[in-house]
Amino acid sequence: MNPADESYKLLYIMGTGRSGTTILEILLSANDAVCSVGELTHIFQDGFEGNNTCACGTTFKLCEFWGKVQQRLSYPPTRVLKYSKLFNKIDWHKGFLKTLFHSISPKNIGVYTQANKDLYDACSDISGKRVIVDSSKYPARALMLNYIYGPSLKIICLTRSPEGILNAFLKTGVEQPSKSPFAVLIYYVYVLLASRIVAMISKNVLCITFEELTGTPIQTLIKIERFTGVSTEQARQQIQGNTAFSPGHIITGNRLRYNKAIFFHKKQPRLKLLPKTHKLFLLLMKASQKLLGF
Q: How far apart are the first and last CA of the chain?
A: 33
- Strands (E) in 87-171, as ranges, are 131-137, 153-159
pLDDT of residue 271: 63
* Residues facing residue 12 across a β-bridge: 134, 155
Question: How many CB atoms sit inside 10 A of residue 229's CB?
Answer: 10
pLDDT of residue 270: 65
Look up the pTM and report it: 0.93
pLDDT of residue 2: 46
pLDDT of residue 171: 73
Structural domains of the chain in order of their starting residue, each with its CATH number: 3-160+203-269 (3.40.50)
Over residues 278-292, the pLDDT tens digits come to 889 999 999 999 999
Name the nearest CA neighbour of 116 among 124, 106, 105: 124
Name the nearest CA neighbour of 44 among 109, 90, 105, 102: 90
Region of 15 please: left (phi>0), alpha (psi -120 to 50) or beta: left
Q: Residue ranges of the chain with pLDDT lower than 70?
A: 1-6, 172-177, 254, 267-273
The CA-CA-CA angle for residues 279, 284, 286, to 5°, reads 95
How far is Cα 289 from Cα 294, in angstroms, rounded to an integer? 5
| 185 to 189, 264, 291: CA distances (angstroms) | 6, 29, 14
Q: Can you state the angle between helices 139-149 and 106-127, rounded to 10 degrees?
A: 90
| 81 to 12, 87, 140: CA distances (angstroms) | 24, 10, 20
List, in order, residues 6 or more apart from 189 with CB less than 8 Å away. Answer: 284, 285, 288
> What 3-state DSSP class applies to 228?
helix
pLDDT of residue 4: 45
16 neighbors 191 (Cβ within 8 angstroms): yes
